[in-house]
């Protein structure tokens, strides 16, 4: 039988990663190619060419899932479409007023975030709905179109519509969208009731504006990509990952790109969950270290999700895998502040000019330069030998920096690693405390281009005793694309207390959400995706009456049919988190949520076949670490005997990363090809 392949691609800021699995779920090819910022699809085309050169028949790809940072980069760099906003009369300043909260209450000089839509491109429309969805004042079409005409004359090419209380009744938004499309079919138009119909005026409006701001660019990108992959014989439906760890068709992603903003980190967490489950490890802290930052997430059997994520300067209300960016990355620049203290990051050298050792014009020392100078990286084996590094350039940069500190190049390199680790620890520890977990009970699962190189240093600092490094860790986000399921979230703002609920009221509302989800699944199936089974997850945002913040409570069908069961669960969760509960108090059902999941067949095993152990390391290499010289064993993953421990210091060189095992840890390989490191 001819091989059938799955292709996962993750487009990062520095590299675009690709991974191919066969019909048995085993990884048959991985590669990394430089990303092209101005035309991300070109890196994908280059990857397809390289796969063909390796003997992969791209015409036999039956599932093609990819994630891209195009949307989030567009927001952060603020180079999206000229966007206009239509709001209910009297609410023009919804983006200006925000929540009136200080991002950092101890910073007296905090700057106000500039909105994506300037005030002169926000137009008020004569219409008004009441909180229950009833019409107080009907929409005036003539006034609406006059406002749109003015925006088009101002150069607007994308339009967001967010009317008051449209989460309760979308009639006015749908009417406005139809009128605008009839007059201006070329405009990208989206409504808040379609993007995320939840109470919270600012967040709902912002999500809609963000969708419009990046939508035009994302749509153009998907069109170019869809047209281009056909030249390589790819006939599979083009799919995109989502912030919630699911996937959807590219056509849907082009219409609702705001759902893809955090798809890259989410894909990594989904891949990590899959790897941990195979290894029989269920409590994991993910450690995804790239060129700029470290992304951390908690997995306790399942990934944690959040509706309070942040993209650049903006909060995102739409559910996403709960990922927090901390610390510095491999390309983070080391510098000396005004009082002579060494700092690492937050600025990154990126891919261009890159670290000094890349020889691409960068002349400032980075974490990568430090690793190269200390002997942990090998100059002629970086990226499988495809990219040469220049130790002399790294040494020159370290000497220049060290001159300001009174240190030589080697001492400066060690100081950079120490400061980078301290930066991570300073943010990691309070993060774990806020999550209510002891990191010593968890395994650190490291991936990303620089994650395996720094993971043991981080584990040593925070007291984590076990580290897991999966096969092909540098492309785990791409692997996550191949094991993700169809998944989407639906919400309904209910806002009733438990005593005022009618019989079967919750069951009826949840049934409506489930119907929305199943219609969505049917549309995705028509787009070429075929799940083998479908299930629904129910939850509700609940709080004590009079409180301002909610807690999400997972519900069963029994809870839905018997709301008292849901109330009991809320009291128990509240007491677990805060150490107290009020069983006599009234409980509010604020938002009802349903997550539809379509499970795709034949998930990747992500396992690697292990050749026989040669009995000897590739070599030993002299390295400097913690101010001492060591002879470190240098091996490849394939040379590790199953179950036999190798003590540190040791270096494992792979195509997509380098694993550094410091003294005090030993490593072995498990049956799935994972590297397991444990403190001695």
DSSP collapsed to 3 states, 577-642: HHCCCCCCCCEEEEEEEEEEEEECCCCCCCCCCCCCCCCCCCEEEEEEECCEEEEEEEECHHHCCE
Dihedral of CA 10/15/21/27: which sign? negative
Residue 236, token pair as written in the block: 């599979």
Distance of CA 233 to the CA centre of its chain: 30
| pLDDT for residue 327 is more than 70 | no
Q: Are 654 and 634 in contact (CB under 8 A)?
A: no
Alpha-carbon distance of 242 to 245, in angstroms, equals 5
Number of H helices, E strands in the chain: 17, 35
Give residues with Cβ within 8 angstroms of 182, minimum separation 6.
none
**pTM recorded for the entire structure:** 0.86
Question: Would you say 498 and 567 are in contact if contact means Cβ atoms under 8 Å apart?
Answer: yes
Mean pLDDT confidence for 42-46: 95
| pLDDT recorded at residue 472 | 86
Which one of 401-410, 437-446, 518-527 scores highest in mean pLDDT? Answer: 401-410
Name the residue among 177, 150, 196, 678 with its Cα closest to residue 465. Answer: 678
Share of the chain above pLDDT 70, in %: 95
What CA–CA distance (Å, rounded) separates 213 from 217? 8
pLDDT of residue 602: 62
Antiparallel, parallel or unpaired: β 27-34 and 135-137: unpaired
Per-residue model confidence (pLDDT) at position 611: 41
Alpha-carbon gap, residue 15 to 510, rounded angstroms: 42
User: Of the given ranges (196-210, 348-362, 492-506), which has the lowest mean pLDDT?
Assistant: 348-362
Using pLDDT thresholds of 50, 70 and 90, give the confidence band for residue 1. Answer: very low
Residue 235: how many other CB atoms lie within 10 Å: 13
What are the pLDDT digits (tens) for 247-303? 999 888 988 999 998 888 899 999 999 999 999 999 999 999 877 778 889 998 889
CA dihedral 52, 56, 61, 63 (to 10 degrees): -100
Q: How far apart are CA 80 and CA 215, in angstroms?
A: 8
- Render pLDDT for 546-571 as a digit per residue (tens, 0 to 9): 898 899 999 999 999 988 999 999 99
Going from the C-alpha of 57 to that of each of 3, 6, 52, 232, 523, the distances in angstroms are: 9, 11, 6, 9, 29
For residues 373 and 363, what is the distance between their CA atoms, to the nearest angstrom? 15
669: pLDDT strictly greater than 80? yes
The per-residue pLDDT for 2 is 57
**Model confidence at 613: pLDDT above 50:** no
Q: Any idea what DSSP says for residue 366?
A: B
> In which residue are the tokens 């005090």 written?
664
Structure tokens at 535: 């299930």
Average pLDDT over residues 637-662: 86
Q: Is pLDDT at 406 greater than 80 in this prediction?
A: yes
Between 629 and 330, the more confident residue is 629
pLDDT digits (tens, 9 = 90+) for 215-240: 989 989 998 998 899 999 998 889 99
User: Which pLDDT band, with edges at 50, 70 and 90, does 636 fall under?
Assistant: confident
Lowest mean pLDDT among 86-95, 139-148, 616-625, 651-660: 616-625
pLDDT for 609 equals: 41
DSSP string of 150-165, one letter each residue: HHHHTT--EEEEE-TT
pLDDT in tens, 513-538: 999 999 999 999 888 888 999 999 99
Res 452 pLDDT > 70: yes
What does the alpha-carbon distance between residue 421 and residue 461 come to, in Å, rounded to a whole number?
A: 8
pLDDT band at 610 (very low <50, low <70, confident <90, very high): very low
pLDDT above 80 (res 489): yes
Q: Tell me what pLDDT residue 608 has.
A: 42
Q: How far apart are the C-alpha atoms of 90 and 96, rounded to whole Å? A: 13
Mean pLDDT on 387-394: 92
Per-residue model confidence (pLDDT) at position 421: 93
Give the pLDDT confidence score for residue 103 in this predicted structure. Answer: 65
Q: What is the mean pLDDT of residues 134-141?
A: 96
Average pLDDT, the chain: 89
Range with the poorest average pLDDT among 408-412, 494-498, 661-665:
494-498
Nearest to residue 358, comparing CAs of 348, 346, 343?
Answer: 348
**Which tens digit of pLDDT belongs to each residue from 100-133?**
666 666 666 767 788 999 999 999 999 999 999 9
pLDDT digits (tens, 9 = 90+) for 184-195: 999 999 999 999
């Amino acid at each position: 039988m001819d091989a059938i392949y799955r292709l996962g691609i993750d487009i990062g800021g520095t590299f675009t990663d690709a991974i191919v699995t066969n019909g048995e779920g085993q990884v048959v090819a991985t590669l990394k190619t430089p990303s092209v910022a101005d035309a991300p699809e070109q890196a994908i085309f280059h990857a397809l060419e390289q796969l063909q050169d390796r003997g992969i028949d791209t015409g036999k790809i039956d599932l093609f899932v990819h994630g891209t940072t195009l949307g989030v980069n567009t927001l952060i760099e603020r180079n999206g479409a000229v966007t206009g906003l239509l709001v209910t009369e009297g609410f023009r300043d919804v983006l200006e007023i925000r929540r009136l909260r200080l991002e950092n209450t101890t910073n007296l000089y905090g700057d106000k975030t500039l909105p994506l839509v300037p005030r002169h491109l926000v137009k008020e429309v004569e219409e008004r709905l009441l909180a229950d969805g009833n019409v107080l004042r009907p929409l005036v079409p003539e006034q609406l179109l006059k406002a749109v005409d003015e925006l088009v004359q101002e150069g607007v090419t994308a339009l967001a519509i967010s009317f008051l209380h449209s989460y309760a009744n979308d009639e006015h938004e749908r009417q406005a969208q139809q009128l605008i499309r009839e007059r201006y079919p070329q405009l990208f138009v989206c409504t808040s009731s379609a993007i995320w119909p939840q109470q919270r005026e600012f967040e709902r409006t912002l999500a809609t504006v963000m969708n419009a701001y990046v939508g035009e660019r994302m749509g153009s990108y998907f069109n170019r990509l869809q047209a281009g992959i056909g030249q390589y014989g790819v006939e599979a439906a083009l799919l995109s990952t989502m912030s919630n760890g699911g996937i959807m068709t590219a056509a849907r992603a082009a219409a609702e790109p705001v759902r893809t903003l955090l798809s890259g980190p989410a894909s990594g967490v989904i891949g990590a969950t899959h790897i941990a489950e195979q290894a029989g490890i269920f409590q994991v802290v993910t450690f995804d270290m790239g060129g700029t930052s470290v992304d951390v997430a908690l997995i306790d059997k399942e990934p944690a999700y959040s509706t309070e994520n942040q993209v650049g300067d903006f909060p995102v209300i739409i559910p996403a895998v709960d990922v927090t960016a901390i610390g510095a990355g491999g390309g983070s620049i080391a510098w000396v502040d005004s009082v002579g203290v060494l700092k690492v990051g937050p600025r990154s050298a990126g891919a261009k000019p890159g670290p000094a050792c890349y020889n691409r014009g960068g002349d400032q020392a980075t974490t990568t330069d430090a690793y190269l100078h200390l002997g942990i990286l090998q100059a002629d084996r970086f990226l499988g030998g495809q990219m040469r590094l220049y130790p002399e350039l790294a040494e020159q940069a370290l000497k220049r920096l060290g001159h300001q500190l009174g240190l030589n190049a080697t001492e400066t390199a060690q100081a950079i690693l120490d400061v980078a680790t301290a930066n991570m620890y300073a943010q990691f520890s309070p993060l774990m405390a806020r999550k209510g977990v002891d990191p010593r009970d968890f395994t650190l699962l490291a991936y990303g281009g620089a994650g395996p190189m720094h993971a043991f240093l981080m584990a040593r600092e925070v007291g984590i005793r076990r580290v897991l490094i999966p096969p092909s860790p540098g492309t785990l986000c791409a692997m996550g694309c191949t094991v993700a399921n169809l998944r989407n979230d639906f919400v309904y703002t209910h806002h009733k207390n438990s005593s005022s609920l009618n019989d079967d009221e919750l069951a009826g509302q949840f049934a409506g959400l489930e119907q929305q989800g199943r219609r969505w699944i049917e549309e995705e199936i028509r787009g070429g995706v075929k799940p083998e089974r479908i299930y629904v997850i129910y939850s509700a945002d609940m709080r004590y009456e009079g409180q301002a913040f909610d807690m999400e409570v997972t519900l069963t069908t029994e809870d839905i049919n018997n709301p008292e069961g849901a109330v009991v669960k809320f009291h128990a969760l509240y007491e677990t988190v805060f150490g107290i509960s009020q069983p006599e108090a009234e409980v509010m059902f604020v938002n009802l949520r349903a997550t539809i999941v379509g499970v795709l067949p034949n998930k990747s095993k992500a396992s690697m076949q292990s050749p026989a152990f040669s009995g000897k390391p590739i070599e030993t290499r002299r390295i400097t670490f913690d101010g001492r010289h060591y002879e470190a064993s240098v091996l490849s993953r394939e040379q590790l005997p199953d179950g036999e421990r190798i003590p540190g210091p040791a270096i494992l060189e792979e195509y997509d990363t380098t694993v550094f095992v410091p003294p005090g840890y030993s490593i072995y390989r498990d049956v799935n090809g994972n590297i397991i490191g444990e403190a001695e």
